[in-house]
Amino acid sequence: LPNAAQKAEAILSDMLLAYERTGDSSLKPNKISYGAVLAAWARSDEDEAANRAEALVGEVINRYVTGEEESIRPNEVMFNSVIHALSKSKDGDTSSRARRAVAKMWQLYDDGRCPDVRPTTTTYNSLLNCCSDADEALDTLDQMQRAWTQGDTIIPHPDVVSFASVIDALASQKTANAADKAENLAAKLERMYHQTADEKLKPNITVYTCLIRALKYGGRDTTDLDAVVERVERLGLRPDDKFLHAVDNACQYLQARASPSEFSSLD
């Protein structure tokens, strides 16, 4: 709906004003009220969505810290909405702002007053989507992988979404080196899944769609694409339209690169 987030925040403001005027506790906004408005900003495509989400969660923190109001105690879902809004923002500093949000989560959690604000894998996956480049995303994923390898239960462990996000970031680099890294990540994900049988690590068609996109620019020839298609078949995954389109587009691009006189540019 147009301006849905603005309307939701206006209702929240009206609730707060009514409570302050009447003292009626049934009108007092709580964490559900704030969470709903933050979720609306996370879904919004408005330019100010990330700014409004940050301001709103800041208001929640301030009210909770100064008044110890349990009804609005910050939680992980609120911050996830903020980070998701940042991942959609076109501002140039979203990576640093997202990292500050995660740092604030850890601070509130470590203080012992907000046990529900501890960052999760969902939080870190949203953070991955805010990374300024593939190298930064790789570093973040590496931190999560080390936690998984070492049995660290503090830092969230990666899942299939984590790997798909970083492979997609590598695909955007459009280099052979990035394609090699994407291939290595896909292979590592497969190994982790086979070692653990953890359904959260089970490779899906999105992973291989992103890998095909990386190989489009970094693959040596179409045999690299054929190998990915064979892996998809071997794993029993069902190709969707996005995967089939990516394969077709990458095939044409690699063939055009091999015989530039016979094909038009598909970059």
**DSSP notation for 188-211:** HHHHHHHHH--GGG---HHHHHHH
Dihedral sign of CA atoms 153, 158, 159, 162 in order: positive
DSSP state of 75: -
Per-residue pLDDT for 53 more than 60?
Answer: yes
What average pLDDT is seen over the chain?
A: 92
**70 confidence band (pLDDT: 50, 70, 90):** confident
Distance, CA of 73 to chain centre:
24
**Which residue in 65, 69, 4, 62 sits closest to 30, CA to CA?**
69
Tokens of 31: 């964490």
Residue 130 pLDDT level (bands cut at 50, 70, 90):
very high
Can you give the pLDDT at residue 65? 86
DSSP 16: H
Cβ neighbour number for residue 257 with a 10 Å cutoff: 16
Q: Is a pLDDT exceeding 70 seen at residue 63?
A: yes
Q: Which has the closest alpha carbon to 73: 19, 111, 120, 125? A: 111
Report which of residues 148 and 208 the model is more confident about: 208
Tell me the pLDDT tens digit for each residue of 163-178. 999 999 999 999 999 9
The tokens for 91 are 């501002």
pLDDT of residue 40: 97
Please say whether the beta carbons of 250 and 221 come within 8 A.
no
pTM: 0.88
